[in-house]
Structure 1
Amino acid sequence: MHEPAWHLPSSSPDTPPTPNPTSGALHDRPGGPAHEVVFTADFASTRQWVAGRSWAYPGGGPTNPGDDKLDHLVPDDDYCRGGTFRATRRPDGRWNTGLLTTEGSAEGFVARAGDVLEARVRLPREIGAWPAIWTWRDGDQEIDVFEYHPDNPDLLELSNHVRDTGHYYRHRSVRPGAWVDLRVEFGARSVVWWVNGDRAFADRRGVGRGWHAHLIVNLSVCAGRYHPPPDEGTEEMAYEVASLVVRRPSDAELRR
């Protein structure tokens, strides 16, 4: 998860989460291909997810100061396994942070070109919080389903680092503490983001037909280069992921 080249300088109602869809098919648009659920996140599953390390961090972690992060990744279940991703201040100035990834897990799930990821998240309130859902493989293949910084309270960062493009999406429904529904179509020719049912951005560049990558869900903490660090009185922060599913078209549909 990197700060995008199109970085912006810094500048809530409680809606209950909807049920997590776990099976069945959908048609993304009239006449479009049917997608079947191929992955339903169970954050408590040690077969689906590895906690507290990622090769997206130098050496697999636990720190990544070069990306302007105060993170110190921890495998503690309380920081991620319940779907609430937490960060707490450490005496050394860093923050213990929660991260889950499918990379290196027993199931080793990877998203593929053509997949559709849907998630429901509750944004954090604390300045310095940096939540994200993103993809990663072999030092690359990064698509940011979303990134958020409460100092830009109405803005989501939507990024395709595979093809170096992205978008700042602003909307009044995006605010600290709000529930947000996200949907991303990992198209070979265009990655398309939807926010709360509205089409937010289509990059018209895509990921290419052979793209595949692992999933990462985490809460980072800003060090201050691009966004302000946490206030001195802040000792902990969190954001929630109520559901995350990945749907996939059939091989026959992909060949069309």
Structure 2
Amino acid sequence: MPFSSDTSRASGASRISAKRRFLVFGFATVLTLGMLKASANDEPGTEADRLDINAMRLSFDEDFTSLDVSAWGPGTRWIAHTPWSGDFGGARFADPGQRTPFSIEDGMLKIEAKRDPEGDWQSGLLASMDPRGNGFAQQYGYFEMRAQLPDGPGVWPAFWLIGKDRSQSTAEIDVIEFYGDKPDGYSSVVHVWHRDGRHYSRFHRNNVFEDARPGDFHTYGVRIDRDWIRFYFDRTFVWKTETQEEHRQPLYILLNLALVDGPTKDEAPDPSHMIVDYVRAYRLD
């Protein structure tokens, strides 16, 4: 998102700072040659932007009647960390086990952020690909999560995609980043983190919670083809931006309840919960 004195945009810098440590191949700084730009393509959607689920084929369906997760794989549908071994934010992403942040209730996933017995924050992340490249990834298509978001300052839930090939750059699509201290909406961002330090990004602020509530169930989706990346809220078109070459590859799924690594972390409700009904992907053919 753009560098700005606008607090809603400045809060996104915390995620960018966190990603620098883990996504930019060890570079200490990022040369923001591409700059962070707001999309110019936020006009009302055309017929081509309309979402038609019936014209797609379901390719990934996680309904959370159970949860198949391990710390790092292999052989499970999800792992509990980013595959590049880097976690981020103000809470440690915990392994499944005695202190697991994951539970299944009424056929839904609950991710819990709380302080552990030592007083440190822990929470949960799921990724659909393990460090060896095993798991679900898909080139193009529609990706969707139906979820309830937590309330309160410091909470930072997200649903996002990462390109499978990170040899020269990291392609990232943030379908939703929600900051609990700015409850009127959420951010969607498209990134390319280049190995030489260049950074491309397009940002859009979706002020959808003036009428709706983040604590209610909503769907958050993105449709990707060769030319456009289109974003949807409750299956209604929100905005689009041009597909970059780096995003024309298989992308895998991540979802998490993080905490902002800053002063608001200490104000976050303990515990906080993100409830996920399902995560799905569809092929455009």
Count of residues paired in the alignment: 219
Residue type of the partner of 1:168? R
Matched-pair contact (CA < 8 Å) for 2:150–2:274: yes
How far the C-alpha of 1:182 sits from its partner, in A, is 1.6
Cα 1:42/1:48, change in 2 over 3 Å: farther
Q: Which residue of 2 aligns with 1:235?
A: 270
Residue type of the partner of 2:125? L
Q: TM-score, normalised by structure 1?
A: 0.74
How far the C-alpha of 1:184 sits from its partner, in A, is 0.9
How far the C-alpha of 1:244 sits from its partner, in A, is 1.2
1:76 to 96, 115, 124: 96
For 1:1-256, list aligned pairs within 5 A: 4-6=1-3, 8-9=6-7, 34-43=55-64, 44-46=67-69, 47-51=76-80, 53-56=81-84, 60-61=85-86, 63-64=87-88, 69-76=89-96, 78-80=100-102, 82=104, 83-90=109-116, 94-104=120-130, 108-113=135-140, 115-136=141-162, 137=164, 138=166, 140-162=170-192, 163-171=200-208, 172-206=210-244, 210-224=248-262, 228-231=264-267, 234-250=269-285
Whole-angstrom distance in 1 between the partners of 2:188 and 2:126 = 20
- Unaligned segments of structure 2, at least 5 residues: 12-47, 70-75, 193-199
Whole-angstrom distance in 2 between the partners of 1:237 and 1:125 = 8
How far the C-alpha of 1:235 sits from its partner, in A, is 2.2
Cα 1:35/1:107, change in 2 over 3 Å: farther
Deviations 1:153-186 (A, max 9, x none): 1111111113511200102244341222222102
Whole-angstrom distance in 2 between the partners of 1:31 and 1:181 = 14
Whole-angstrom distance in 2 between the partners of 1:127 and 1:149 = 7
Whole-angstrom distance in 1 between the partners of 2:115 and 2:211 = 29
Matched-pair contact (CA < 8 Å) for 1:190–1:203: yes
Whole-angstrom distance in 2 between the partners of 1:230 and 1:103 = 32
Matched-pair contact (CA < 8 Å) for 2:51–2:235: no
How far the C-alpha of 1:50 sits from its partner, in A, is 1.1
How far the C-alpha of 1:6 sits from its partner, in A, is 5.0
Cα 1:84/1:33, change in 2 over 3 Å: closer
How far the C-alpha of 1:54 sits from its partner, in A, is 1.4
Higher helix share: 2
Matched-pair contact (CA < 8 Å) for 1:186–1:207: no
Residue type of the partner of 2:229? V
Cα 1:119/1:231, change in 2 over 3 Å: same
Matched-pair contact (CA < 8 Å) for 1:141–1:212: no
Cα 1:110/1:96, change in 2 over 3 Å: same
Residue type of the partner of 1:130? W
Q: Secondary structure at the match of 1:229?
A: helix
Q: Secondary structure at the match of 1:141?
A: strand
Q: TM-score, normalised by structure 2?
A: 0.67
Name which of structure 1's ranges 30-39 and 196-205 shifts more when overlaid on structure 2: 30-39
Percent identity for Structure 1 against Structure 2 = 23
Residue type of the partner of 2:77? Q
How far the C-alpha of 1:143 sits from its partner, in A, is 0.4
Deviations 1:83-118 (A, max 9, x none): 1111112466641111111121895100312x1012
Matched-pair contact (CA < 8 Å) for 1:153–1:174: no
Residue type of the partner of 1:108? G
Whole-angstrom distance in 1 between the partners of 2:261 and 2:253 = 24
